[in-house]
Structure 1
Amino acid sequence: MRILFLTLFTFSTFAQQKQQKPMRLWYDKPATYFEEALVLGNGKQGATVFGGTKSDKIFLNDLTLWSGEPMDPYMNKEAYKNLPAVREALRLENYRAADSLVRKIQGKFSESYAPLGTLFVDFNHDNPTEYRRELSLDKAVSTVHYHAGSNEIRKEYFFSHPDNVFVIHLTSKEKKGLNFTVQFKSLLRYSTKSTINHLHAKGTAPVRADPNYVRKKGNPIMFDDTKGTRFATDILIQSADGKVLRTDSTLQMVGGTDATILVTMATSFNGFDKSPSKEGLNEDDLSEKRLQAASFKGAEQLLARHLADYQPYFKRVNLSLPADNAPELPTDERLRRYAKGEKDNYLETLYFQFGRYLLISSSRTPGVPANLQGLWNPHIQPPWSSNYTMNINAEENYWLAENTNLSEMHAPFLGFLENLEKTGRITAKTFYDAPGWVVHHNSDIWAMSNPVGDFGNGDPSWANWPMGATWASTHLWEHYLFTQDKKFLEAKAYPLMRGAAEFCLYWLIEDKNGRLITSPSTSPENKFITPTGYQGATAYGATADLAMIRELFLDLIAAEKILQKDPAFQATLEKALARILPYQVGAKGNLQEWYFDWEDTDPKHRHQSHLYGLYPGTHVTVAETPSIAAAAKKTLEIKGDETTGWSKGWRINLWARLRDGDHAYKMYRELLKYVEPDGVKVNYARGGGTYPNLFDAHPPFQIDGNFGGSAAVAEMLVQSTPELIETLPALPAAWASEGAVSGLKTRGGFEVSMSWKDGKVTSLHLKGLKGSTAKIKVNGEIKSLLIKTGEVHVL
């Protein structure tokens, strides 16, 4: 195939004609519920702003504030002794016994992500008029504007990453018209004190916070004055003309025209393996120093520094969909209108960019990734502990990191894997007498890696799943593919992936036909029905296990071909890969989930883990494995489209990989189905969808649906392998008339910008490493490119 030698071509036409509209959420009344409030974050700390006029409530969070202390990885030292009995029960097809015996291979539950506290700014403004509450995604700034009688009040909120400070800037149109009181409260153990213009709060997270679904005697929340993660919060009011009064627990502004509230936070968390009580950071000193540094800059300079930090990330990607006649309505009203079937391409673009905004705002802390709620949690016992659920949810949080050009935000999750590897090696040894490292269903900030279940009380369908390291390790290879960072591949990715594969090689055993399978095996959170009618979870050779192992082995083999330092291990993987039980197609034409063609207890189950090879895996494709892809499609048809938020996000990506853009779009619309806040019990609205503030409704709120949905939009527009980039592979008819996107990333380290009309690409620009080559499929034709200067204009 001929190589096109192309050099830089001015791409201003695309940039000038296809600009994305300003991205903002807005509302005409204050929030009453968490799912209506607007969220801000600097990647480590966050604020949830309600925008009240009588009392402005603001939830505060720090990503490093969790219950508990470092885990004891030796919690069940002799658990491995039970593995042979489980495997023997499975060999005898005694699934009831296997379900019972495997409970002996369980440990503790994860700890819980804790809320730091709530800031109240009380104005006592009743019956405001001309109210508007807004969040600009372009600026990561929230504003509230309203009239209080003859006065006009404006509030501006942002959370700065470079200065580690939350800023509230308030102005009054009337001179000396600002009168408000500030106070801090927390669900944790805390105390407050004040000095001039300054309020200081300090406290401690619980030493234990049981998951909200655990029902046992005793207090689920336990504090210990000698243990746990400490936190500190400092609040300062600055005003040129107002007077600040104080009590031990409040600050009061009297007669100000312009005022700034600065809020800083810190915790004693000092690493997953260090006691935050005995080896912790000095949270008081950290918070006070941040406050002092910010206090010298002023609101205007703080905002400028915030924008200079945030906007280069957010502005990397622009999306412009076909124009429509959707009216300019508050965001919650747009959602309600959209749920009736009306067109609103602006809302669809907004949701896509909101996912990117959330990732920038919640994932910039080394070794501490975004959790189930991202960063924003008001509960002392949050849903599912707001932990790291490693059988899909933690990974789904990062599906958009690479393809929507936010590779830096992937780093906290990849760094977290380094922590998990350390505890996971001990877990592999003590629970299975296995080499390598392993991670199970749940983890937390302390890098917990054991099977959960409270030492025998957990259902094996979720408690005993051991493929967390296998799944998560493929993110390391993906990061390399998108960045082409060979140093990262050699120093970080390959050793971690190898360790996960070492466990998998041990975990694989021969079936009666000499094929390699896993035993014991579960398919996350699903259950089977045997021909005798037994409903169980523990079996052998579940398709999901083998799909994840196959993907990891393929990734490692590809990595070794680049590094060429570990040929013996490559050969071992290739031999094992050839012997793994192939995919099986069931009698209904579906992809079998279990070793046998069993029925599921719930045929429409929210998990579709056995379709992993299609997405997020890459070894099942329409082009290369058409029969398996067809079976995956049949599985999705049997499951139907109605499912929870995060599951819907996953299924949209699966339909995109199947090249069915219209079905993907149908489900994308369903992902944006309006759901009332959890405090409003409306039966018709209970189910996966979107809350008024665009948070994903699992329900309750889980952020993975937001991230999965955003990733899916990119997947509909551009797909890639290391060998080929495909443009518009799953473009839905609803977007086909015209549109443009810029800045999407591909495997191979390329960046794609293009416009289209009537379903055909009309302009295409590609960036890549200088001297790199790319194959790109455009309007059905494959072009081979040599990028001589780093950029090429293809069409």
Structure 2
Amino acid sequence: MINRIHLIITAITLFVGIENPASAQSDHLLWYNKPAQFFEETMVLGNGKLGAAVFGGIKSDKIFLNDATLWSGEPVNPYMNPEAYKQIPSIREALKNENYKLANELNRKVQGAFSQSYAPLGTMHIKFNHTDSASMYRRELDISKSLSKITYNVSGVTFTREYFISKPARVMMIKLTSSKKGALSFNVDFESLLKFEITNQGNTLRVKGYAPYHAEPVYRGNIANSVKFDENRGTRFSSLFRIKNTDGQVIIQHGSIGLKNGTEAILYIAIETSFNGFDKNPATEGKSDALLADSCLKKVVPVNYESVKHAHINDYQNYFNRVSFNLGKTNAPELPTDERLKRYAEGKEDKNLEILYFQFGRYLLISSSRTAGVPANLQGIWNPYIRPPWSSNYTTNINLQENYWLAENTNLSELHEPLMKFIGHVAHTGKVTAKTFYGVEGWALCHNSDIWAMSNPVGGFGQGDPVWANWNMGGTWLSTHLWEHYIFTLDKNFLKQKAYPLMKGAARFCLNWLVKDKKGNLITSPSTSPEASFITADGSKGSTLYGGTADLAMIRECFLQTIRASQILGTDITFRKEVESALRQLQPYQVGKNGNLQEWYYDWDDADPKHRHQSHLFGLFPGHHITPGLTPELANACKKTLQIKGDETTGWSKGWRINLWARLLDGNHAYQMYRTLLSYVDPDQYKGPDKKTGGGTYPNLLDAHPPFQIDGNFGGAAAVAEMLVQSNENQIRLLPALPDAWDTGKIKGICARGGFEIEMEWQNKSVKKYTITQKKEERHNWSITE
């Protein structure tokens, strides 16, 4: 079948070339004519573990540094509330009696500790002795090379800085040059919100420190002892700063290192931590961070700078260059990126900005997701706060999952693997959570997690509102990523050895957790819909109920995929039949009085009809069991729900809604929301009189939830791919939701389920040429439609 499809493709090649863009406006460069004043204006760099946010100042360059493995805390005790499950019968009885207020209060007893926080490593300062003002300033980030550059002129001398973070070399490198011999002088120092000490050793500044063993979520307010340090506890880190000069004099002072009267120098930054796994104490069982950092420097310093840079670019482009995207001619003028966003927000055309945002999402994933078992968090790997927003953790009621929606379809499958391994970690602790909090087998993951694979419902043992604290479908949702990784790669070894056992464990939890309602249908009880509340017929507001639609949507998808995996592997027939039976008995979807897809068991009103979460639409996206073709009534109900919710929402929610509109095959609505996702938002701390707020995009293209959350970037990039190609286990659709604004274009390297890679070109919204290649031979009966 695969060879036959290829012959059909070859036979219909009718391409007429697309005109190259006449404008100089770039689809791969972010650039600015002034230094960053706020974090949301910085240029972010990363190698999947080490992260940096570069301000690019003239007299002093500030650089925030992070490491993906540096978190507060230590291995979690999953047995923190061993008898919580004993509350479940009482909650179910209260719900059976329709006493939602009592059920909600009892639900607080089914809570555990809060998650830990992603920590900021520290801030590096590079201070220069410029006495005159600068001119001809430009800073840029080239996402096609993962390379940042700053140039400016002071007193007739051109100064240049070039920054990158190498994955092969495991270091950050900054090359500093002046156009006049001996004009380069600078000093490097370091500060941190963590505990640390600085020593000097030759041309190296050595920082040794440790993270807190506990950090309270910032949303808990200004409470005493919110951040706790102990020199015998917590993750250790080592940061080394070394200068390699060609001339001038290296100056060593206590707590700093610098160069005097040089012309060119290279600054190396090596960072390592003692993190040694989710179940290892980082203080007593950790890696030797100092030795690891020393080893990095020892290997890279003797190597020619251009060689290291070349290896970095080759390594990065191995991922980035897999996808190219063009939307034809654009008339947008050449402007700095922040001004470009403002112009676009006025409704003006800038096709290359739309491409840039898509590719920037891919850039961010390559830069933040290359550490085994440590997926990108709420802020990727870029965080300057010791108590960051929402702990910069893994929020699993949408945010962690949305981070990886673009991994497979934008040809970055390997970058999905940190999440795959992390799922194995939380399944380990999640077995205890399933048993002690819910009294069932299998494994469960709830609202939040962290690097320690915490899986329990959060809330501080009763202090959290069940509207968000008690949701327990995180494992059910995450298990679908295992199937997605398989169906895009057709890696049967992965399915057999890694994915299916975890999928089976998630399905087992659901089987045991489901109970029958008064009609004989299977439902969950207790249930919540992520962060949303209902208003009952008597006008009371609540969040704990039974039979929430979101729960059942995720369970449906989990069951369907587990069944298919079992069939493909030819295993577990008895278990498969048990799942199939439960699937048939699930409470069916219901259409509400307003034509919307009902979120609650009863046709209650929403406390916030425009709420940012749309979890009950899971079956439409990212799930696959609601489609306009196969379930038109349910698809129309999803559409009505989206119409009621409207388009104005937070950044990540816009990313999700764009994907939902694309699945409804409404490309123009998806595109209009894509434009709103790119709405310019001022930095959080900016206090100007005309400050622009709301969900959208900051000057440096990072997503404004607000504040910064990276999931909107990833969701928006995934949605572009969803507008251009949609696929399932049996079919590939080309241009299913193409907006009128993208009537001409071409894309190469986008992926479809079944292990396919697609190249296509279109004009007047009609495909003129396409080639579909299967990367791995496997017998499937896919059909191709336009």
Report the TM-score when normalising by structure 2.
Answer: 0.97
Aligned equivalent of 1:785 = none
2:477 & 2:147 partners in 1: Cα distance? 36
Report the equivalent of 1:693: 700
Q: How many Å apart are 1:15 and its aligned residue?
A: 13
1:170 aligns with 2:176: yes
1:602-751 matches, cutoff 5 A: 602-681=608-687, 685-736=692-743, 738-751=744-757
**Match among 447, 459, 464 for residue 470 of structure 2:** 464
SS class of match (1:26)? strand
1:206 to 208, 212, 218: 212
Equivalence for 1:788: none
What pairs with 1:74-89 in structure 2 (closer than 5 Å)?
74-89=79-94
1:411 alignment partner, SS class: helix
How far off is 1:197 after superposition? 1.4
- The one-letter code matched in structure 1 to 2:357 is Y
2:69 is aligned to 64
Instruction: Summarize deviations over 1:37-72 as a string: whole Å, max 9, x none.
Output: 000000011111111111000011000000011011
Q: Deviation at 1:13?
A: 11
SS in 1 for 2:219: coil
> 2:401 matched to 1:383?
no
- Please tell me whether the aligned partners of residues 728 and 753 of structure 2 are also in contact (alpha carbons under 8 angstroms): yes
Kindly indicate whether the alpha-carbon contact (under 8 Å) linking 1:14 and 1:754 is maintained by their aligned counterparts in 2.
no
Q: Which amino acid aligns with 1:528?
A: F
Q: 1:81-100, CA deviations, whole angstroms, 9 ceiling, x for partnerless residues?
A: 11110010000000000000
Deviations 1:278-310 (A, max 9, x none): 100111111111011110113111101101111
CA distance in 2, matches of 1:44, 1:68: 18
- What corresponds to 1:52 in structure 2? 57
The residue identity in structure 1 corresponding to 2:555 is: I
Matched-pair contact (CA < 8 Å) for 2:369–2:375? yes
CA shift, 1:774, in A, is 5.5
1:203-352 map, 5 Å:
203-215=209-221, 217-352=223-358
Name the CA distance, whole Å, in 2 between partners of 1:763 and 1:776.
17
Please tell me the residue identity of whatever aligns with 1:613. G
The Cα of 1:684 is off from its aligned counterpart by 5.4
Equivalent residues of 2:2, 2:779 under 8 A apart: no
Residues 431 and 441 in structure 2, CA contact (< 8 A), matched pair in contact too: yes
* Change over 3 Å in CA distance of 1:778–1:432 after alignment to 2: closer
C-alpha deviation, 1:565, in angstroms: 1.0
Task: Say if 1:19 and 1:318, in contact at 8 Å, map to a contact too.
Answer: no
Alignment of 1:331-730 (within 5 A): 331-681=337-687, 685-730=692-737
Counterpart in the other structure of 2:784: 777
Structure 1 5/583 Cα, relative in aligned 2: closer, same or farther at 3 Å? closer
**What amino acid is the match of 2:264?**
D
- Secondary structure of the residue aligned to 2:40 is helix
What amino acid does structure 2 have at the position aligned with 1:4? R
Cα-to-partner distance string for 1:436-456 (whole Å, 9 max, x where unaligned): 000000000000000000000
Contact 2:490 2:778 in 1 (8 A): no
Structure 2 counterpart of 1:395, which letter?
Answer: Q
CA distance in 1, matches of 2:209, 2:300: 23
Give the match for residue 189 of structure 2: 183
> Deviation of residue 4 (structure 1)?
3.2
User: In structure 1, which of residues 68, 91, 95 is the aligned counterpart of residue 96 of structure 2?
Assistant: 91
Q: Which residue of 2 aligns with 1:34?
A: 39
SS, match of residue 4 in structure 2: strand
- Aligned residues of 1:44 and 1:365 also touching (Cα < 8 A): yes
CA distance in 1, matches of 2:280, 2:584: 43
Distance in 2 separating the partners of 1:119 and 1:336? 31
Inter-CA distance 630–548: structure 2 relative to 1 (3 Å threshold): same
**1:465 match: secondary structure:** coil
What do the CA deviations read for 1:416-463 (whole angstroms, capped 9, x no partner)? 000001100011111111100000000000000000000000000110
| Partner SS state of residue 4, structure 1 | helix
Aligned to 2:114: 109
Out of 153-162 and 246-255, give the one that drifted further. 246-255
Aligned-residue offset at 1:322: 2.8
What's the % identity of the aligned pairs? 58
Q: Which amino acid aligns with 1:46?
A: G
Shift of 1:312: 1.3
SS of residue in 1 equivalent to 2:220 = coil
Contact residue 151 and residue 161 of structure 2 kept, 8 A: yes
Tell me which amino acid in the other structure corresponds to 1:689.
Answer: G
Residues 761 and 778 of structure 1 are in contact (CA less than 8 Å); yes or no, is this contact kept in structure 2? no
For 2:582 and 2:563, how far apart are their aligned partners in 1?
12
Matches of 1:289 and 1:16 in 2, distance apart? 51
Question: In the comparison of the two structures, how many residue pairs are matched?
Answer: 778
Matched-pair contact (CA < 8 Å) for 1:53–1:124: no
Q: Distance in 2 between matches of 1:642 and 1:6?
A: 43
Quote the Cα distance in structure 1 between the aligned partners of 2:376 and 2:16. Answer: 32
- Match of 1:31, as an amino acid? A
1:406 maps to a residue whose letter is L
Residue 773 (structure 1) shift: 5.2
Q: Is the 8 A contact 2:6 2:773 kept in 1?
A: no
User: Is the 8 Å Cα contact of residues 60 and 128 (structure 2) preserved in structure 1?
Assistant: yes
Contact conserved, 2:761 with 2:767, CA < 8 A, in 1? yes
SS in 1 for 2:76: coil
Shift of 1:240: 1.3
Alpha-carbon distance in 2 for matches of 1:240, 1:544 = 62
Name the residue aligned to 1:792: none
SS of residue in 1 equivalent to 2:280: coil
Deviation at 1:215, TM superposition (A): 3.1
**3-state DSSP class of the match of 1:182?**
strand
Q: 1:422 to 1:6 in 2, by over 3 A?
A: closer
Which structure 1 residue ranges, 5 or more long, are not aligned?
780-795
Q: Cα distance, 1:776 vs. partner?
A: 4.2
Q: Please identify, of 189-198 and 670-679, the stretch whose mean Cα deviation from structure 2 is larger.
A: 189-198
Q: How far apart, CA to CA, are the structure 1 residues paired with 2:700 and 2:567?
A: 47
Shift of 1:233: 0.3
Whether contact under 8 Å (1:589, 1:634) holds in the other structure is: yes
Contact 2:528 2:545 in 1 (8 A): yes
**Alignment gaps of 5+ in structure 2:** none
* Corresponding residue SS for 1:104: coil
Per-residue deviation, 1:771 = 6.4
**C-alpha separation in 2, matches of 1:618 and 1:556:** 14
Identify the match of residue 202 of structure 2 among 188, 196, 201.
196
What letter matches 1:492 in structure 2?
A: K
Q: CA RMSD in A?
A: 1.8
Mapped contact 1:35–1:677 kept (Cα < 8 A)? yes
The letter for the 1-side match of 2:535 is: I
Q: 1:666 to 1:274 in 2, by over 3 A?
A: same
Q: Is the 8 A contact 2:177 2:264 kept in 1?
A: yes
Q: Distance in 2 between matches of 1:766 and 1:144?
A: 41
- Separation in 2, partners of 1:17, 1:598: 52
Structure 1 position 127, deviation (Å): 2.0
Is 1:25 equivalent to 2:36 in the alignment?
no
